[in-house]
């Protein structure tokens, strides 16, 4: 008997089709094994695909499993934001007004989300991040620059190269200019070795020079299994924590700013980031953005 699995294709962290980060949401993953989910994610060949299942914990709207083409992830940003938007658009997360709070069950546990709506339709989705964990500062600035194909003079002199995580660890590399970001290169053997040695999910390089006037940071993400990602919500949360600790954006107790990404790939994205700071304590991190549904269809399974 042929099985049919419905999917929705969405572009996340953008307000226009064919920008942002692509996502396939399989709206009913019941009956699929983990191996079959992995096969379907490889067939879709996006950076991630998600599979919606009944929740197994009290209070969660749905359980969501997230797969890259090569492996399952316990959490990720654009799949969480995009899947939330798709579920709200389909009425599977009931909107209760202009602001709806809900919870998804991810691999790391409960994940709070907030849906902003207008006239009964979702407009914007926020995802809450865990408290940040600041890892080691990497002192080998020359080695990091070499792995990116740039010079140490391209690195920002005042801010550290450091690992930060809110569930997935990334290496944050501050650059002195937009030009340096454009000249950075993914895919080198030395970059792959650096990521493996540090055991991080990717390298998030950023500059305070931006392309879009409304943006505050320009970023690129080079990852494990993904040469470059157009919008990385899992990295944007720790980016907010890093920015708050080191005064990258400002010194106020509450920061709200926009990080642009994907420009070099022709898939411009904007990730909104919020964070609160009280002395050394950094909390209330959340990231958000818009989502555009661009298609839907069915996969057949014999």
Whole-angstrom Cα distance, residue 149 to residue 99? 45
Residues annotated as catalytic (active site), given as ranges: 48
Output the pLDDT for position 224: 77
72: number of Cβ within 10 Å: 15
What domains are defined for the chain? Answer: 3-128+290-301 (3.10.310.10), 133-288 (3.10.310.10)
Q: Show the tokens assigned to 12.
A: 């996340």
Per-residue confidence of the chain (302 residues) as pLDDT tens digits?
688 999 999 999 999 999 999 999 999 999 999 999 999 999 999 999 999 999 999 999 999 999 999 999 998 899 999 999 999 999 999 999 999 999 999 999 999 999 999 999 999 999 999 999 999 999 999 999 999 999 999 999 999 999 999 988 999 999 999 999 999 999 889 999 999 999 999 999 999 999 999 999 999 999 877 889 999 999 999 999 999 999 999 888 999 999 999 999 999 999 999 999 988 899 999 999 999 999 999 999 87
Residue 283 pLDDT: 94
pLDDT of amino acid 143: 96
Confirm if 144 and 161 have CB atoms less than 8 A apart: yes
């Amino acid at each position: 008997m042929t099985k049919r699995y419905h999917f929705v294709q969405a572009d996340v962290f953008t307000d226009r089709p064919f920008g942002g980060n692509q996502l396939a949401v399989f709206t009913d993953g019941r009956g699929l094994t983990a191996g079959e989910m992995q096969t379907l994610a490889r067939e879709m060949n996006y950076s991630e695909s998600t599979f919606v299942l009944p929740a197994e914990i009290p209070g969660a709207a749905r359980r969501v499993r997230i797969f890259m083409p090569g492996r399952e992830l316990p959490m990720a940003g654009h799949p969480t934001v995009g899947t939330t938007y798709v579920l709200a658009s389909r009425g599977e997360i009931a909107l209760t007004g202009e602001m709806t709070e809900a919870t998804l069950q991810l691999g790391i546990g409960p994940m709070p989300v907030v849906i902003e709506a207008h006239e009964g339709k979702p407009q914007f989705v926020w995802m809450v991040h865990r408290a940040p964990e600041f890892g080691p500062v990497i002192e080998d600035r020359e080695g990091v620059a070499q792995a990116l194909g740039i010079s140490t003079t391209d690195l920002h002199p005042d801010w550290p190269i450091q690992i930060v995580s809110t569930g997935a660890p990334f290496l944050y590399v501050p650059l002195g200019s937009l030009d340096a970001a454009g000249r950075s290169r993914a895919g080198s053997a030395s970059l792959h070795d650096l990521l493996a040695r540090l055991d991080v999910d990717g390298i998030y390089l950023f500059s305070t020079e931006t392309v879009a006037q409304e943006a505050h940071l320009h970023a690129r993400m080079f990852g494990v299994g993904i040469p470059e990602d157009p919008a990385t919500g899992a990295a944007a949360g720790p980016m907010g924590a890093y920015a708050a600790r080191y005064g990258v954006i400002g010194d106020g107790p509450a920061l709200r700013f926009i990080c642009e990404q994907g420009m070099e790939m022709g898939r411009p994205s904007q990730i909104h980031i919020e964070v609160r700071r009280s002395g050394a304590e950094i909390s209330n991190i959340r990231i958000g953005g818009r989502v555009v549904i661009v298609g839907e269809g069915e996969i057949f399974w014999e």
